[in-house]
Amino acid sequence: MSQVCVVLASVSPSLAGWIQSPGFPRGYRPDLNEFWRRCAPPGHVLSLTLIHLDLEESNECENDGLKISEDGRFIANLCGKMTFDELQSSVNPSLRSSSGGCLSISFYSDYSNTERHAGFKAFYTTQDIDECWENSEVECSHFCHNYIGGYSCSCSPGYYLDPDEHTCRANCTENRYGAGVLTAPGSPGPYYENADCLYSLSVGEGDQIEIKFTGVFDVEKIGAHCIDYVKVKTDTETFGPFCGKDRPADIHTAAQHVQVIFHSDQGGANQGFSLQYGPKVMECSGKVTPHSTVSPAKQRHQVGERVTVRCEQGYAIAYKNDSFESTCQFNGKWSVIRNCEMVNCGPPELSELMAFTEKTGEMYNHKFSINCSTHYYQLVGNANFICDATGEWVAENGQIFSQLTAKCVPVCGMTKSSAGGRIFGGKSATLGQIPWQLLVKEPNRGGASLINDFWAITAAHVVVVKQRPLKFIGGMVDAQSRNQVEMETDKIIIHPGYDYTKSHYDNDIALVKMSSRVPLSENIMPVCLPERKSSGPVMEGMHGTVSGFGATSDRRQRSRYLQYGNVKEYSGHCFNTDLKVTENMFCAGDTDGQVDSCKGDSGGPLVIPMLEVHDTPYRLKGIVSWGPPACGDESYKAFLRDLIRVS
């Protein structure tokens, strides 16, 4: 639709006047600074016409000058002498404000003039502007009408003016009953622009509306996108949008009341559509509720027919049953309708040691992945889960997350650094070198080995006391360190076969549970337990490392610092003793008598391989239990438990 402008002939109520420099035309004084501001009313412009200009000439008018601007926008800076014709041709056309704007005029002179100059004189007036022709921002869909101080838009017959007072829209909202023919507004011929038509169709009770598109179907389409479109909408279903040149199939709406919606934009020359509508005996749609299937499955169902409705996979009814029955009613609606909602597995509850590495949501088919929150733990079990149709988070192998199929277990047998060493005749350990070593000072000094983040293992005779609870310390190599980690026992389990009243140390082993989780770090980490039972030599023919805070010489003075030394298993006669050496014991030491466990080392670890070897995790093969009275004698070897046989 082309734009047509209609000009209303009228005489503007002119606001006019004169502005001139002081003393014009006899000349102006030095050191002047005069200012004028004139404004135009809305819908008008202020025009300034200079009829005389005679000022001192200077570079960039720095001495005397006339400045004209509009709200900070520079328009002109004038000086020197110009004739009226020169002013009319080069200056006056630009001395014009915007609609409803104001012009600011400033005149100044310096302290002296070498000769007399007349000054300036100007005439100002306000003029109505024709927005329909002069204002490029004015856009009327159909007609533009100018009047003094403003403009208005109007529309062709068959259109109404939108509340924005610029856009014309097709007037095509109707209510219809029974049978008839419906065409695009403007038919025959190209349909109207800016159409948002709403046709409400109704038929009698017991009938449904049947729609058949006839004749030419031509609704604007670009590529796969509908620029203009036709929709058919009921209370429960929407057909369309339809566009292009392919005529839509017949529509059995299964509804007594239907809306036909037609939309067009501002351009195009398409022919539109034509459709016939009328009553047909009522039927129900083959879809009872979204995201469900019905049995028996049909496109349409007769009044009184009953179906079974089941939710699609991944959807469920907010009731205990997974299906329901519904009956087609006389009004074309189903008697029972329940919503099939997407399955929600809820937020997975992670242990304090776990963290998400990916999480897409909590609904059906959403996924999450987990890992342990620190590198001191490793994930055992499944790491990836998906929200299953059952409402459970399930791994690929079918295991359910809520059944604790995944857990974080401490990394064992790792050290901060690796080094060689010698306990009795041993060397001092560095921090983090034997991070599983624990120490109990009272009532009996002894050692223990951390085996996870709650449990430790020690000799039974170290913890067979009435005092409860006991306190262990770890994460240090100096027994007097202020940075040690303190652990309080919650439970002590002594081997049921241990009897401290008898003169032997059979089954001298105990488990100790701490009252809270041990904070693992590079200085305090568990040691690994043996992977299999020993069928031959307990230490598997390897050298191992024994460690503790026990005596470091025959003077039996307890060591302040953690000592360690490398030993080997002794397969022959250990030493002469009346104590029974059982099958739960083995003997280890150094053939030269230079490295040995001693008093105060009881309960401490013997690990393989020795500390010089760090290709594999360190594993606990025994705990210091008992030995001969003297430490470091070449014929006397310390006895330790074979954990596999005792456990």
- The answer to whether the beta carbons of residues 105 and 37 sit under 8 Å apart is yes
131 is in an annotated binding site: yes
Cα–Cα distance for residue pair 256/248, rounded to 1 Å: 21
pLDDT at 337 over 70: yes
What is the arithmetic mean of pLDDT over 154-167? Answer: 85
The question of whether 130 is a catalytic residue gets the answer no
Kindly report the pTM of this predicted structure. Answer: 0.55
b/e string for 223-246 if b means 16 or more Cβ within 10 A? eeebbbbbebbbebeebebbbbee
150 in a known ligand binding site: yes
Q: How far apart are CA 237 and CA 249, in angstroms?
A: 16
What confidence score (pLDDT) does residue 472 get?
Answer: 94
Q: Tell me which residue has tokens 């559509």.
A: 273
Alpha carbons 448 and 487: distance in angstroms, whole number: 12
Confidence of residue 645 (pLDDT cuts 50, 70, 90): very low
Residue 95 has pLDDT above 90, yes or no: yes
Token reading at 488: 């309080």
Give residues with Cβ within 8 angstroms of 114, minimum separation 6.
Answer: 56
Catalytic residue among 44, 117, 142, 461: 461
Quote the Cα angle for 407-413-416, to 5°.
110
d(CA 434, CA 362): 44
> How far is it, in rounded angstroms, from Cα 44 to Cα 240?
50
* Least confidently predicted of 218-222, 522-526, 551-555: 551-555
Residue 469: closest CA among 455, 484, 490, 485:
490
Backbone angles phi, psi at 376, to 5 degrees: -85, 0
pLDDT of residue 327: 95
Q: How far apart are CA 351 and CA 353, in angstroms?
A: 5
Q: Show Cβ contacts of residue 465 under 8 Å, excluding neighbours closer than 6 positions.
A: 443, 444
pLDDT band at 417 (very low <50, low <70, confident <90, very high): low
- pLDDT reading at 594 higher than 60: no
The winner for highest mean pLDDT among 48-62, 312-326, 437-451 is 48-62
Between 137 and 258, the more confident residue is 258
Residues 384-389, mean pLDDT to the nearest whole number: 94
How is domain 4-132 classified at the CATH fold level? Jelly Rolls (2.60.120)
CB neighbour list of residue 482: distance below 8 Å, 6 or more residues apart: none
**ω into 617 cis (within 30 of 0):** no
Question: 602 catalytic, yes or no?
Answer: yes
pLDDT the model gives residue 254: 83
d(CA 437, CA 369) in angstroms, rounded, equals 34
Determine the pLDDT at residue 488. 94
Region 485-498 average pLDDT: 91
Of 202, 264, 253, which is closest to residue 228 (Cα–Cα)?
264
Instruction: Answer for the pair 491, 510: CB distance below 8 angstroms, yes or no.
Output: no
| Mean pLDDT of the chain, nearest integer | 85
Confidence of residue 266 (pLDDT cuts 50, 70, 90): confident
Q: Is residue 446 pLDDT above 80, yes or no? A: yes
172-281 and 354-410, same CATH topology: no
Q: What is the pLDDT of residues 351-368, one digit of tens each?
A: 889 999 999 999 999 999
> How confident is the model over 272-287, as pLDDT tens digits?
999 999 999 888 888 8
The pLDDT tens digits for 391-405 are 999 998 889 998 877
Contacting residues for 124 by C-beta, under 8 A, at least 6 apart: 16, 17, 18, 19, 38, 46, 47, 48, 49, 103
The CATH H-level superfamily of 285-342 is Complement Module, domain 1 (2.10.70.10)
128 is known to lie in a ligand binding site? yes
**Active-site residue, from 99, 559, 602, 625:** 602
| Cα–Cα dist 328/294, whole Å | 12
**SS3 state of residue 386:** strand
Average pLDDT over residues 65-83: 93
What pLDDT shows up at residue 13?
Answer: 42
| Averaged pLDDT for residues 562-572 | 82
- Position 422 scores a pLDDT of 34
pLDDT at 466: 61
Q: What is the pLDDT of residue 418?
A: 41
Strands laid side by side in the 44-54 sheet = 16-20, 119-128, 44-54, 81-82
85 is in an annotated binding site: no
The pLDDT of 404-412, averaged and rounded, is 86
Which pLDDT belongs to residue 591?
61
The answer on whether 205 is annotated among ligand-binding residues is no
SS3 84: helix
Counted residue by residue, the chain has a size of: 647
Residue 177 among known ligand-binding residues: no
228 is an annotated ligand-binding site residue: yes
The pLDDT value recorded for residue 10 is 34
Mean pLDDT of 85-101: 90
Inform me whether the pLDDT recorded for 637 exceeds 70. Answer: no
Q: What confidence score (pLDDT) does residue 307 get? A: 96
| Bridge partner list, 340 | 317
- Domain boundaries in the chain? 4-132, 172-281, 285-342, 354-410, 413-647
**Is 600 annotated as belonging to a binding site?**
no
Residue 515 has pLDDT above 50, yes or no: yes
- Check if 461 is active-site: yes
Active-site residue among 54, 218, 508, 601? 508
User: What CATH number does the domain located at 172-281 have?
Assistant: 2.60.120.290
Q: Is residue 424's pLDDT more than 80?
A: no
Instruction: Return the higher-pLDDT residue of 567 and 376.
Output: 376
Q: Binding residue per annotation — 110?
A: yes
65 marked as binding residue: no
Choice among 161-165, 304-308, 439-443, 583-587 with the minimum mean pLDDT: 583-587
Percent of the chain with pLDDT over 70: 87
Q: At residue 134, does pLDDT exceed 80?
A: no
Q: How far is CA 502 from CA 416, 468, 493, 498, 556, in A?
A: 41, 23, 19, 9, 25
Share of the chain above pLDDT 90, in %: 48
| Average pLDDT estimate for 524-528 | 94
Give the model's pLDDT for residue 644: 38
Of 104-113, 375-384, 632-641, the least confident: 632-641
Does 264 or 535 have the greater pLDDT score?
Answer: 264
Count of H helices and E strands in the chain? Answer: 4, 50
Top-level CATH class of 354-410? mainly beta
For residues 406-435, average pLDDT = 73
The CATH code for residues 413-647 is 2.40.10.120
Q: Give the pLDDT band (50/70/90) at residue 639.
A: low
**What per-residue confidence (pLDDT) applies to 393?**
94
Instruction: Name which residue leads in pLDDT, 637 or 373.
Output: 373
Residue 244 has what pLDDT?
A: 95
Confidence grade of residue 103 (pLDDT, cut at 50, 70, 90): very high
Q: Are 622 and 641 in contact (CB under 8 A)?
A: yes
